A and B are shown apart, each in its own frame.
Chain A
Amino acid sequence: MLSLEILLHSVVTGLMNGAVYALVAMGLTLIFGVLHIINFAHGSLLMVAMYGVFFAVTLLGIDPYVTIPFMMALMYFAGYGLQRYVIGNAGQGRDTNILLITLGAAVVMDNLALYLWTGDTRQLQLDYMMTVVDLGFALIPVTRIIAFVAACALFVAMWLVIERTNFGRAMRAVAKEPFGARVVGIDVDRVYAQTMGIGTACLGAAAALLLPIFYVNPQIGNVFVLLAFTIVVLGSMGNIVGALVGGLLVGLVESVGGFFLGDRLGQVGIFVIFILILTFRPQGLFSARV
């Protein structure tokens, strides 16, 4: 009986983590869907954003959730600049070149963080972090609930931007047919940079939501980048809704797998899924679409 309760608890925790993973993955899948590049720097950008939130809280005394709009704006410009001045410039459209450049950028960021902020693992200490909410069947920390709700809200907002605005329309046009988009007068390079910006802005929000339930160190990006890749592949590269479903699924596998196999092997389960999906159904569970 008790174990059933714990199982239920790990299901809920898994779904809540999954929503935040989905937010990280949404940025990645958006970038992949429109620019058709695999951004190895995604995890490192998340790590940088998490440090940003951490210092905003510890040095400036701002609440982590208040930093969300600022972090999103900052990360937007970081992503925009990265695409416009580094990747777009140096990649020359070759797949492997772009991979290498994003990898290089990730290595630089990770180690710059190590150099500047040492390898110590840091955690936030906030008074409401210990508060739990009784959902009737499980006791969940309030920080996780906030993360879940905010991630879902951002998800909906992003979906509306893509489906309902002119900018979203331009983005979808570029994703489908860059040449045709150029012909009808869309500034393709600008859309690329903006997409990278938005994809990276998701990380700003994700960082603020993750930090109160997680920790930050210079390697944290690697933890999330593989997770995000798994989700993106699972939910079909470039598919936003797929990223949400994939994120929830991966969160679930991780926490339920951890329940049955122990914490560390729960993570192994994710990678096994990753490889199975990549090999047997590389197009993912859904069809690709931005």
Chain B
Amino acid sequence: MVRITTLALLLAAVPLFVQSNHLLGLFIAVLFSAYLAQSWNILGGLCGQFSFGHAAFFGVGLYSSLILQVDFGWPAPLALVSAAVAGAVTGLFVGFVSFRYGLRGSYFALVTLAFAEILRMTASVVSFTGAGSGKYLPTRLGIEHLQFSKSGYFYFILVLFVLVHLLVLAIQNSRLGARFAAIREDEEAASALGVDVFRYKMIAILISSAVAGVGGCFYGQYYFYTDPHIAFGAAVSIEMLLAPIIGGAGTLFGPIVGAVVLRVAAELGQSLTGGVPGFNLILYGIMVILIVRYMPDGLIGGLRRPWALMRRRPTATAG
């Protein structure tokens, strides 16, 4: 709690010192990545259900928010809420069909991947999504339209970022979090101890996908555009799961660390190669292999282990 508040206050001061729009944009991108990573972390990290298609929830939120604003004239704040609802409904559906039949591990990963693909293909065919040419949001500056200046967007995503971290912290410190952890560590044991595994997995995917849906809404407000690939592409799902895994899945700060590392690596890769397409994803791929190989608990876990060893050693020799 203290650490999150400190982090939030420090970040809130950033626009006062950072004048460059590019740098502020980078901050927004990192916070946004961390936000999405945290959404994946609720289901994948806390509850141990690896989703390979989180883009499904993100994309449904993104499309529903744009469509409701553009075609139905809904006010933006209401669209934000409905993005959460739309994401959650999609999540519940995916969760119901897969958890109902006890799909887990690789099977669950495959089902989520396939769902995102189906949505991507459908969105590129049907007309109400704008098909392949995508969907635009007209510019209407003003807080009632949730459209801001650059620093305004920074505070917008900062608020979302802080809220999701408070949410994760609250889950971790509650009985709900304990049940999630029990399911993650050993489903059979959790079930034997009386945890209703299906129900709590549904709760996990509900929260996770609602959060992802709101992330989709933010994307729409910030970039004013989407197409099937931006919304449902495999790259979105991969980024959402890489950040928490690189940082440390199931930890509160892992997704932040992962998002920072990925974004900085992408930025470095871009400036080193002059923006060659695909280069940063090559880096991501290599990074994930190395981290799974050498730090299976992510950067946070990997750094914590030697630290814990160092602290333990004196007592060991004393004893």
Contacts and interface: CB of A to CB of B under 8 A. Distances in A.
B193 to A, nearest CB: 23
Contacts of A275: 97, 111, 114-115, 118
Nearest to B288: A104
Contacts of B234: 222
A58 interface: no
B278 A89 contact: no
A94 B121 contact: no
Contact of B118 (A99, A268, A280, A282): A268
B199 interface: no
Interface string A107-124: 110111011000100000
B98 A272 contact: no
A94 to B, nearest CB: 7
A271 interface: yes
A271 B121 contact: yes
Interface residues of A, number: 45
A161 interface: no
Interface in B251-295: 276-279, 281-282, 284-289, 292-293
Given A115-B278, A226-B114, A279 B288 contact: no
Contacts of B282: 107-108, 111-112, 115
Interface string B104-127: 011101110111011001101100
B100 A101 contact: no
B50 interface: yes
B223 interface: no
Interface residues of B, number: 40
Interface in B63-117: 97-98, 100-101, 103, 105-107, 109-111, 113-115, 117
B137 interface: no
Contacts, number: 118
A249 interface: no
Given A104-B285, A107-B285, A108-B285, A280 B292 contact: no
Given A107-B238, A114-B277, A115-B276, A100 B101 contact: no
A267 interface: yes
Contact of B98 (A38, A111, A279): A279
A86 interface: yes
Given A105-B285, A107-B238, A38 B101 contact: no
A46 B105 CA distance: 25
Interface in A153-178: none
B93 to A, nearest CB: 10
A206 to B, nearest CB: 21
Shortest Cβ-Cβ A-B pairs, 4 listed = A111-B278, A108-B285, A107-B285, A90-B293
30 contacts: A38-B109, A95-B106, A97-B296, A99-B106, A99-B109, A103-B52, A103-B238, A104-B285, A104-B286, A104-B287, A107-B282, A108-B281, A108-B282, A108-B285, A110-B278, A112-B282, A115-B278, A226-B114, A264-B124, A265-B121, A265-B125, A271-B117, A271-B121, A274-B114, A278-B98, A278-B107, A278-B110, A278-B111, A278-B114, A282-B101
Interface of A: 37-38, 86, 89-92, 94-97, 99-101, 103-108, 110-112, 114-115, 119, 218, 222, 226, 229-230, 233, 262, 264-265, 267-268, 271-272, 274-275, 278-280, 282
